Amino acid sequence: MTDGVSIRREGRAGRVTLTRPGALNALDHEMCRAISAALIDWAQDPEVSVVLIDAEGERAFCAGGDVARVHREATGGRQAEVQAFWRDEYRMNAMIAEYPKAVVSFLHGYVMGGGVGLGCHASHRVVCESARIAMPECGIGLIPDVGGSLLLARVPGRLGEYLGLTGARMGPGDAIYAGFADLHVPQDGWTELKRALVETGQPAAVAAAAAPAPAATLPDLLNEAEALFAGETLVDVRAALQADDGAFAAEARAALDRGAPLSLGCTLALLHRLKAERAGIRRALELEYRFTHRALAEADFLEGVRALIVDKDKRPRWRHAADALTSEDVAHMFEPLDGVGLDFHDWEDTAS
């Protein structure tokens, strides 16, 4: 059994439970590989009709990847291992998104970064009243990855740009509106729902257990987001925010001021590209990997993690000033990698 995750068969279900509540169920490389191996096995197991993904503890489904460990490995000369972690994590994200059987994720507490990649590509995404979902990667010098860029690109209007650049958190109603979740089931009903799924293997039990979600607040921001986040570049967006004296613009400005300019500019460009291409999950992950593969040497990831998580001085020294970021700086991070890329599992011959 891999530390940090419990993988087992129960009735008609394959079960994945994260078991690192003290670390907010942060994902590491071994956990991702173990989950991927189980998914491959269960896809061909006629006794498994549905996969359930949940987590122990009250605070988080998964607050992200184990970036403190990633920082230790990268600064200790193990950059290739970090790049392999991202590669295998992204492969797992694609597996979940394309899985030939129903996957039900139970999202509570913090669901961020790697937690979005694990839980928000499932076919049936359940949120409860405590869910707080976000992609805050720009604050640590990365970009919304694990396929989160694709989810953001599909949010109505320019709200995806707003969520991606600011890292704003979504409650259950907003997560459903934005397409990060499907149904609201109060947490006191989860035990019974999981029992039904295990016994029957029928994902229809999810809809039967659903209850009205809290009202979404994002629709009220749609027009302002359209006006303020429609710019082609980071300079354009910042100029629009500076010219607006409203509370929404002020809050967004403060969030952008905390983010790494290169990450912000690349996030904006990535969302625009995915929208224009009407891309799918594999294309989004491919572009994300071009950035993250370069991130250790050419972006602000190590400095962002140092400042916010390791030293906690909250004074990152970013490589670029926001007003000096060029289109060439951004474009370079998404250029094809020389001899490096992602390959994905082929489900074509897998029995469902």
Q: Which residues are catalytic?
A: 65, 114, 137, 145
Hey, which residues does 65 pair with through a beta bridge? 27
Both structure tokens of 22: 């003290």
Q: Give the whole-angstrom CA distance, residue 239 versus residue 262.
A: 17
DSSP 230-276: --SSHHHHHHHHHT--SHHHHHHHHHHHHS-HHHHHHHHHHHHHHHH
* 138 and 325 Cβ atoms separated by less than 8 Å: no
From residue 30, give the alpha-carbon distance in Å to each of 26, 99, 154, 159, 249. Answer: 12, 20, 30, 34, 41
Query: Going by C-beta distance under 8 Å and a sequence separation of 6 or more, which residues neighbour residue 300?
Result: 141, 260, 262, 263, 316, 318, 319
Whether 105 and 153 have beta carbons less than 8 Å apart is answered as no
User: Percentages helix, strand, coil for the chain, rounded to the nearest 5?
Assistant: 50, 10, 35
What 3 state SS string does 83-127 have? Answer: HHHHHHHHHHHHHHHHCCCEEEEEECEEEECHHHHHHCCCCEEEE
* Helix or strand holding residue 50 (H, E): strand 50-55
Bridge partners (DSSP) of residue 50 are 13, 102
CA distance linking residue 116 with residue 206, whole number of Å? 19
Tokens of 344: 């994905």
First to last CA, the chain: 26
Q: What are phi and psi of 344, to 5 degrees?
A: -125, 155
